[in-house]
Structure 1
Amino acid sequence: MTAPTINGTRYPQPIETLLPAARDLDLPEGQTFPSRNRLMREFRIGAPKADDLLARLKAEHAEPATDTAEPPAPDPNPVPVVPEPAPPAAEPVEITPAEPPAEATPVGHPDTPTPPEPARPAAVWPVVLLALPAFVAIWSGWVGLGGLTGFGVVHPLPGIWDSFSINSAITLPIGVETYGAYALYVWLSGRVPDRARRFAKWSAIASLLVGALGQIAYHLLEAAGVTSAPWWITTAVACLPVAVLGMGAALAHLVRTHD
């Protein structure tokens, strides 16, 4: 059985064309509107178009509510309304601006403790006084140990400044002891990341221990009259500048890293 045609064509028609045909559909008893599926099947339209068509059918069926109540009949004997006299105008009241409140004077409570004065920082000059003799002893010890392990006068600028010479033994006290002091400062400052603080702690302890062992080795060799240190002491001392460079670069990197 073929679907009914509208206006001689079987293709879907506009809503305005389908609306009269939808009104004339035979509906089962007790059903006011055709279902959406039946509209889709009868007129071969999609679900959105069927919903629109069904909504228009329901809108036509709904009757607007009208007000059927009749207006009340006029009173044959109206009572005249006498307007009440207006109250006399109130006299303007002068408003005096309020005076500003007096400033409260703080009163000290007898039980309130007096805040302590800020503590004065400790003097630093005693540290300088203590460091001077230690610097002399450490410097001479490292320079002497460097002489026993092959460090000595070198010409670092040959062909550029031939007369310029330097004793490479001074690199030992400058490198080892300076790094130890710097790592100790980073460790105790408390202003660096945790990784940098841990690295500074252990490297400072190691640097100070190496410095102490270097002093012990120099004085023992010097007391024994040794003019050339054993190979294992020479090997350890020769590695110190490289180790100090690596630890210093690593600590500087960790201090600036906040990961």
Structure 2
Amino acid sequence: MTAPTINGTKYPQPVDELLPAARKLAAELGELPSRNKLMQTYRIGAPKAGELLARLRDEAERQARTDRMRGHLLARGSSVERVELHPADVDHAADDEPTTDPWDYAEPIGPNPLPTPLVPESAPPAVPNPAPGPEITPADPPAEVSTVSHPGTPTPPAPVKPSRPAVVWPVVLLALPAFVAIWSGWVGLGGLTGFGIVHPLPGIADGFSINTAITLPIGVETYGAYALYVWLSGRVPAPALRFAKWSALGSLLVGALGQVAYHLLVAAGVTSAPWWITTAVACLPVAVLGMGAALAHLVRSHN
């Protein structure tokens, strides 16, 4: 009759159930049992005995690594309690552990250093007394850094507050008497040079008449004022700016000469102006028309 194995049964047991008995056998022998010893003791085949022996060998290696790590920690002066690690407790961590011992390459550790005395947090650190030497005067605070990074860089001007535009009504008040004098002078000179009452619409409106003498102040003085405005505005192309400048000065000069001629003729009691004055005054409307058209063309050009 076949002798029973462990647990009171004669049937072969699984490796997991044989493992506790194999640990006990290894402890009694003081070393790992051989494969033949396991086969004879537990009536198992060679494959199962080899697997059981491999399990025992892995547990022994893990226990040896644990003991070495504990020894290193104790050599470092750490207070490590004695913990009994059974090989079965680290079965699941076998795959995560490195194949080599991480402590095999550790540097040798000397004796434990002396304990460092505790220093209260409020106490200042100890500073050795410096050797006597020349007194050090604190340096002057750094000068304020200028915002200009380069000497040649100009300082940006301070922002100028927008000022209110000058009023215009005093100019209108001053120009009103001058307008009356200029108007009367041109109309009087026109009467001395042949300008007078005409009927511009004969056969259409025979009763409609107009004094052509008013065309002189309207044409000459109005063009002079507008050309002066274009010149001083500076918002037109260069050719228009030059033309406006010289034509404005010319119109003002012609206007002044017309006023002088009228007052001289009236003061001399002349009722009809000489031919050369009449010729010059008669050409003024045509000249004003040409200069006005030219200035309008230059102002609208993009050159």
TM-score by length of 1: 0.57
Residue 99 of structure 2 is aligned to residue 84 of structure 1: no
- Residues of 2 paired with 1:160 and 1:140: CA distance? 30
SS of 1:84's partner is coil
Residue from 250, 255, 262 that aligns with 1:211: 255
Amino acid at match of 2:276: W
Residue 283 of structure 2 is aligned to residue 239 of structure 1: yes
> In structure 1, what is the equivalent of residue 204 of structure 2?
160
1:84 Cα deviation from its structure 2 partner: 2.8
Residue from 162, 182, 199 that aligns with 2:243: 199
- Residues of 1 paired with 2:160 and 2:287: CA distance? 48
Q: Compared with structure 1, are the counterparts of its residues 180 and 114 closer, same or farther at alpha carbon in structure 2 (3 Å cutoff)?
A: closer
- Residues of 2 paired with 1:230 and 1:144: CA distance? 14
- Residues of 1 paired with 2:158 and 2:247: CA distance? 45
Residue from 159, 173, 178 that aligns with 1:134: 178
Query: Pairwise mapping of residues 1-259 of structure 1 onto structure 2 (< 5 A)?
Result: 83-84=95-96, 115-259=159-303
- Residues of 2 paired with 1:234 and 1:183: CA distance? 25
- Residues of 2 paired with 1:117 and 1:252: CA distance? 36
- Residues of 1 paired with 2:277 and 2:266: CA distance? 14
Amino acid at match of 2:227: A
Instruction: Please give the root-mean-square deviation of Cα atoms over the aligned residues, in Å.
Output: 1.8
1:117 Cα deviation from its structure 2 partner: 2.9
Number of residues paired by the alignment?
Answer: 152
Q: Compared with structure 1, are the counterparts of its residues 238 and 114 closer, same or farther at alpha carbon in structure 2 (3 Å cutoff)?
A: closer
Q: Compared with structure 1, are the counterparts of its residues 118 and 171 closer, same or farther at alpha carbon in structure 2 (3 Å cutoff)?
A: same
Question: Which 10-residue stretch deviates more, 245-254 or 113-122?
Answer: 113-122
- Residues of 2 paired with 1:115 and 1:248: CA distance? 41
Q: Which runs of 4+ in 1 moved over 6 A?
A: none
Amino acid at match of 2:302: H
1:119 Cα deviation from its structure 2 partner: 0.4
SS of 1:180's partner is helix
Amino acid at match of 1:131: A
Task: After superposition, give the CA deviation of every residue in 1:153-195 in whole Å (9 maximum; x if it has no partner).
Answer: 0000111111110000000000000000000000000100010
Amino acid at match of 1:249: A
- Residues of 1 paired with 2:173 and 2:241: CA distance? 28
1:118 Cα deviation from its structure 2 partner: 1.3
Task: After superposition, give the CA deviation of every residue in 1:91-110 in whole Å (9 maximum; x if it has no partner).
Answer: xxxxxxxxxxxxxxxxxxxx
Task: After superposition, give the CA deviation of every residue in 1:79-132 in whole Å (9 maximum; x if it has no partner).
Answer: xxx8437xxxxxxxxxxxxxxxxxxxxxxxxxxx99543101011011101110
TM-score by length of 2: 0.48
- Residues of 1 paired with 2:245 and 2:193: CA distance? 29
**Structure 1: any 5+ residue segments left out of the alignment?**
1-81, 86-112
Q: Compared with structure 1, are the counterparts of its residues 116 and 202 closer, same or farther at alpha carbon in structure 2 (3 Å cutoff)?
A: closer
- Residues of 1 paired with 2:158 and 2:300: CA distance? 42
